[in-house]
Amino acid sequence: MTAAQLFDLNTDKKTLFMFGGSQGSEALNRCTKEMIGHLKDVQLLWQTGKNNIEKYKQFDSDSVRVLPFIDDMKSAYALSDLSFSRAGALTIAELTACGLPSILVPLPSAAAGHQAHNAQSMVNAGAAELIPEAELDSKKISEKIVSLMNDEKTLNEMSSKSKELSKPNAVNDIVDHILKKVHP
């Protein structure tokens, strides 16, 4: 089964993947709800979080798939052309492993501002755009999304930059480093 079949979306349309981590993000959910009418020719894969699904499930349609949680993130990433998400460490690792361009909204209350630092590293590399949560504006963001989705060259460049940041062998590198320290 293809990712498009799994989520019952169209392979011929660009796909925005919106998620706010496993619990969801009320700020991103509210913004996404307000963007739906402005995302012309863009379909949406939207993970609301289990506690938020009742507020947003009515937006599910032919071009908007609203889900409480996505177990098969590999398929979600494979289907997507752009993500709109938080910037936690695991999210960044997944985005870069997949080479997915992103619009990142760091969680303002994250310990030591680590999500803002994560997002800024992606921006500095040319793989993402950063929008502080306090500056969420559904009209401006939907315009940015539509603009990016219609700019294949920029999406491809962001995708390449994202992939360059990937560290697929990180676990092995860390273990090797530890073993060298333990057994010099």
pLDDT, tens digit, for every residue of 11-47?
A: 999 999 999 988 899 999 999 999 999 998 999 999 9
Q: What fold does the segment set 3-182 form as a domain?
A: Rossmann fold (3.40.50)
Mean pLDDT throughout 52-77? Answer: 97
Asked if residue 171 has pLDDT above 80, the reply is no
Residue 181's pLDDT is what?
Answer: 84
pLDDT 10s digits, 69-108: 999 999 999 999 999 999 999 999 999 999 999 999 999 9
- Domain ranges within the chain, ordered by starting residue: 3-182
| Backbone torsion region of residue 114, taken as left when φ is above 0, otherwise alpha when ψ lies between -120 and 50, otherwise beta | alpha
Confidence of residue 178 (pLDDT cuts 50, 70, 90): confident
pLDDT at 95: 97
Residue 65: is its pLDDT beyond 90? yes
User: How far is the C-alpha of 46 from the C-alpha of 169, rounded, in Å?
Assistant: 30
**In Å, how far are 8, 34, 77 from 95, measured between CA atoms?**
22, 25, 8
- Per residue in 118-151, pLDDT tens? 999 999 999 999 999 999 999 999 999 999 999 9
Q: How far, in whole angstroms, is CA 184 from its chain's centroid?
A: 41
Identify whether the C-beta of residue 64 lies closer than 8 Å to the C-beta of residue 9.
no
| pLDDT the model gives residue 170 | 67
Mean pLDDT of the chain: 94
